[in-house]
A and B are shown apart, each in its own frame.
Chain A
Amino acid sequence: MVDFLTAVQAGIETGAIYALVALGLGITYATSNAFNFAHGEFVMVGAVLGVVLWQSMDVPVGLALLLTVFVASAAGAATERVAIRPFAAVKDAAGWMIATLGVAIMLTAGFTIAITREPGSTDTRLFPSFLPRDRPWIVGEFLLNPNRMLLVGLLVVVAGGLLWLTKRTHVGRALGAVADDREAAAIRGIPVNRLTMLAFAIGAAVAALTGFAMGPVTQASVTIGLGLTIKGFVASAIGGMGSLGGAVVGGLALGLTEQFALRYLGTQWQDLIILAVLLVMLSIKPEGFFSRDVRAV
Chain B
Amino acid sequence: MTTPSRLSQRLAAPLGVVALIAAMPALLPNDFRLYTAITALTYLVIALGLNVVMGYAGVISLGHAAFALIGAYIAAAAEFHLGWPYWWSWIVAMVVCALLGVVTSAPALRLGGFAVAIVTIFYLSVTTTLILHYRSVTGGGDGIAAAQADLSLDQMWWAYAFVVAVLYLAIRNLVLSPVGRGWQIGRLSPVLAESLGVRVSVMKVGAFSLAAALAGLGGAMYPALNGYTNTEPFSLGMGILILLMVVLGGEGTLGGPVLGALVITGIPVILNEAFSAGGNQSEFVYGGLLLAVVLIFPRGLVGAIKQQWHRLSRGRRLATTAQPVALEEVRFAPPDAPAALEIRGAFKSIGGLRILDDVSLAVEPGQVHGLVGPNGSGKTTLLNLIGGFLRAEGGVFRLGGVDLPSTASGRARAGVSRTFQHPILLEYASIFDNVLAGVDAERAVRPLHYLLRTGRARRAAEEARTHATEWLGAVGLGAVDPTTLAANISPGQRRQLEIARACASRPRALLMDEPAVGLSAEEIGSLMTTVRAAAASGVAVVLIDHNVDLVLRLCDVVTVLDAGRVIAHGPPEKIRTDPMVINAYLGGDPEVSVNLGEVVR
Interface residues of chain A, those whose CB is within 8 Å of chain B, are: 35, 82-83, 86-87, 92-95, 97-99, 101-110, 112-113, 116, 226, 229-230, 233-234, 237, 241, 267-268, 270-272, 274-275, 278-280, 282-283, 286-287
The yes or no answer to B113 lying at the interface (CB within 8 A) is yes
Contact (Cβ within 8 A) B187 A92: yes
Q: Are A113 and B281 in contact (CB under 8 A)?
A: yes
Complex interface residues of chain B between 39 and 96 (CB less than 8 A to chain A): 54, 58, 60, 62
Q: Which residue of B lies closest to A273 (CB)?
A: B126
A interface secondary structure, majority: helix
30 A/B residue pairs, CB under 8 Å, sorted by A: A86-B295, A93-B112, A94-B60, A94-B113, A94-B251, A98-B243, A98-B290, A101-B287, A102-B287, A102-B294, A105-B240, A105-B284, A105-B287, A106-B284, A109-B283, A109-B284, A110-B284, A113-B280, A226-B121, A229-B118, A268-B130, A271-B125, A275-B126, A279-B103, A280-B107, A282-B108, A282-B115, A282-B119, A283-B107, A286-B111
Question: Are B294 and A99 touching (Cβ within 8 A)?
Answer: yes
Indicate which residue in A83, A93, A267, A270 contacts B291 across the interface (CB closer than 8 Å): A83
The answer to the question of B352 belonging to the interface, with a C-beta cut-off of 8 Å to chain A, is no
By the criterion CB–CB under 8 Å, are A106 and B288 in contact? Answer: yes
Chain B interface, >50% SS class: helix
Would A112 and B280 count as touching, CB distance under 8 A? Answer: yes
Given A94-B58, A241-B111, is A271 in contact with B126 using a C-beta cutoff of 8 Å?
yes
Across-interface contacts of A233 in B (CB, < 8 A): 114-115, 118
Chain A residues, CB < 8 A from B292: 102
Tell me whether B361 is interfacial, beta carbon within 8 Å: no
Say yes or no: B294 contacts A278, CB within 8 Å: no
Residues from chain A with Cβ under 8 Å of B310 in the complex: none
Question: Bound complex: CA of A107 vs CA of B290, how far in Å?
Answer: 13
Chain B interface (Cβ < 8 Å from any Cβ of A): 54, 58, 60, 62, 103-104, 106-108, 110-115, 117-119, 121-123, 125-126, 129-130, 132-133, 187, 236, 240, 243, 247, 251, 280-281, 283-284, 286-295, 298
Tell whether A98 pairs with B294 under 8 Å between CB atoms, given A109-B287, A230-B118, A268-B130: yes
**What separation, in Å, do the CA atoms of A112 and B280 have in the docked complex?**
7
Residue of B125, B290, B293 contacting most chain A CB atoms (<10 Å)? B290
**B115: contacting residue among A98, A107, A112, A237, CB under 8 A:** A237
Instruction: Give 10 nearest A-B pairs by CB, closest first.
Output: A105-B287, A102-B290, A102-B291, A106-B287, A109-B284, A286-B110, A109-B283, A268-B133, A282-B107, A283-B107
A268, B289: Cα distance in complex, Å? 35
Asked, given contacts A82-B291, A286-B111, whether A105 binds B247 with beta carbons under 8 Å apart, the answer is: no
Chain B CB within 10 Å, residue with most, of A103, A116, A279, A287? A279
A-B contact sample (14 more), CB < 8 A, given A92-B58, A282-B115, A283-B110:
A82-B295, A93-B60, A99-B290, A102-B292, A105-B286, A106-B287, A109-B283, A109-B284, A113-B284, A116-B280, A234-B118, A237-B115, A270-B129, A275-B122
- Contacts of A287 on B, CB cut-off 8 Å? 111
Contact B114–A93 (Cβ < 8 Å): yes
A270 neighbours in B (Cβ, 8 Å)? 129
Contacts of A286 in B (CB 8 A): 107, 110-111
